[in-house]
């Protein structure tokens, strides 16, 4: 088990090419489950592969435990990788696939047998140890790949989208298995995914990346509730956060956020924050999640001066709730998540209250969260 440290790590695939990863600084704690999350091409796999030693580092330092591993080959880094495509040996049985890494290390035969059997028990693959990978389902193959990773008892697991070839149901099941495995073994794990649900449910912390640059490193709760910039706000959430561009102005001693379609009274804290940042009369971006707007009486009572009028464009029913897609005077479009007891028809005019206490404000140019 180990702490993993990245100091100013960068990667360029060609000397004059753009950075695939830029100035990465990260301190991954011993036993932590850390997730790299971001859109396709943002540099998740490249970072993981540099930690594994499968890719050269253009500049910076990678430490595993106390060891600087920049020049240490992958096989000597004491890590196990799990890939999206399983990477099993097709001609070897399940047993031999799991045992392979230990045989190379010349571990005694009886120890190998113990380790394989224990892994097979944990992963419930004991009944097909004699089969070849082609005789297994995708989920079973991925379990074999996990088995092969865990028997080596590495200092860290590096997993690159290990579940993305599985169907939705199996993914949920394997997600739980990996979490359980991590809880019981406590091995430092870095997990790459572009699936935010996976990231939110599995990670102790999430690293949100874009264009090779870290956007935020934080707990799932903070990533969701306190996104540090507009990119993270938009990237995280089943339905993205509603974002409105507008200006904060004072009317009758009260700060209000004006768009071309509506205006909303700021809370006292928000007003203070806007004043402290000297952003009165400047454009800012307000963010509010669909579940923080609603039709409940109490919300209107609490925020009587934060109400938006709009027409219902269309409605998505997701079982527990509706997503109402609304349009305010052809100028602002936004989404409200509401309980199915609120029923509106397409084209109907509705009023929505905004839970202003949950609204966030971002700098218009830098996109950074204002605090």
Complex with ligand ATP: residue 194 or 249, whichever CB lies closer? 194
Question: Which is nearer to ligand ATP, 8 or 260 (by Cβ)?
Answer: 8
Least Cβ distance, residue 75 to ligand ATP (angstroms) = 21
Beta-bridged to residue 192, according to DSSP, are 36, 160
Q: Which DSSP symbol is given to 229?
A: B
CB atoms within 10 A of CB 21: 27
Shortest separation between residue 40's beta carbon and ligand ATP, angstroms: 3
Closer CB to ligand ATP, residue 177 or residue 195?
Answer: 195
| Residue (85 or 137) nearer to ligand ATP, CB | 85
Q: How far is the CB of 172 from ligand ATP (least distance, A)?
A: 20
List of residues contacting ligand ATP (CB under 6 A)? 13, 20, 38, 40-46, 194
What angle, rounded to 10 degrees, do the helices at 94-104 and 109-123 form? 130
At closest approach, how far in Å is the CB of 13 from ligand ATP? 3
> Based on CB atoms, which residue is closest to ligand ATP, 212 or 227?
212
Residues 6+ apart with CB under 8 A from 330: none
Q: C-beta of 45: minimal distance to ligand ATP in Å?
A: 3
Tell me whether residue 22 or residue 77 sits nearer to ligand ATP (CB atom): 22
CB of 203 to ligand ATP, least distance (A): 16
Q: Following DSSP, what letter does each residue of 295-364 receive, concatenated?
A: --HHHHHH-TT-EEEEEEEEEEE-SS-EEEEEEETTTEEEEEEE-TTS---TT-EEEEEE-GGG-EEEET
DSSP 26-63: EEEPTT-EEEEE-STTSSHHHHHHHHHTSS--SEEEEE
Alpha helices by DSSP H, listed for the chain, are 44-52, 94-104, 109-123, 138-151, 168-185, 196-202, 220-225, 230-235, 268-276, 297-302
């Amino acid at each position: 088990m180990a702490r993993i440290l990245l100091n100013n790590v960068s990667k360029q695939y060609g000397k004059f090419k753009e950075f695939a990863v830029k100035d990465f600084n990260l301190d991954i704690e011993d036993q932590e489950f850390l997730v790299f999350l971001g859109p396709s091409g943002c540099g998740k796999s490249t970072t993981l592969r540099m930690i594994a030693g499968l890719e050269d580092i253009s500049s910076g330092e990678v430490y595993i435990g106390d060891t600087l591993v920049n020049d240490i080959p992958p096989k000597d880094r004491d890590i196990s990788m799990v890939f999206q495509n399983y990477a099993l040996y097709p001609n070897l049985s399940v047993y031999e696939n799991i045992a392979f890494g230990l045989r190379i290390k010349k571990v005694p035969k009886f120890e190998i047998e113990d380790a394989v059997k224990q892994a097979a028990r944990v992963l419930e693959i004991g009944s097909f140890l004699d089969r070849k990978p082609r005789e297994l389902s995708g989920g079973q193959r991925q379990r074999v790949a996990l088995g092969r990773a865990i028997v080596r008892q590495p200092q860290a697991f590096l997993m690159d989208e290990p579940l993305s070839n599985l169907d939705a149901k199996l993914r949920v099941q394997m997600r739980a298995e990996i979490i359980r495995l991590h809880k019981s073994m406590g091995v430092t794990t870095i997990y790459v995914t572009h699936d935010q649900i996976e990231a939110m449910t599995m990670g102790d912390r999430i690293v949100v990346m874009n264009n090779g640059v870290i956007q935020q490193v934080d707990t799932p709760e903070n990533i969701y509730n306190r996104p540090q910039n507009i990119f993270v706000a938009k990237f995280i959430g089943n339905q993205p956060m509603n974002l409105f561009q507008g200006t904060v102005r004072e009317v009758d001693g009260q700060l209000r956020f004006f768009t071309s379609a509506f205006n909303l009274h700021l809370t006292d804290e928000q007003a203070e924050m806007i004043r402290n940042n000297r952003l009165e009369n400047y454009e800012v971006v307000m963010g509010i999640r669909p579940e923080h707007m609603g039709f409940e009486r109490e919300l209107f009572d609490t925020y009587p001066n934060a109400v938006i009028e709009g027409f219902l464009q269309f409605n998505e029913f997701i079982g527990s709730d509706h997503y109402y897609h609304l349009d305010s005077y052809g100028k602002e479009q936004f989404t409200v998540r509401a309980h199915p007891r609120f029923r509106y028809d397409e084209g109907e005019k509705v009023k929505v209250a905004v839970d202003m206490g949950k609204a966030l404000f971002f700098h218009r140019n830098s996109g950074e969260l204002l605090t």
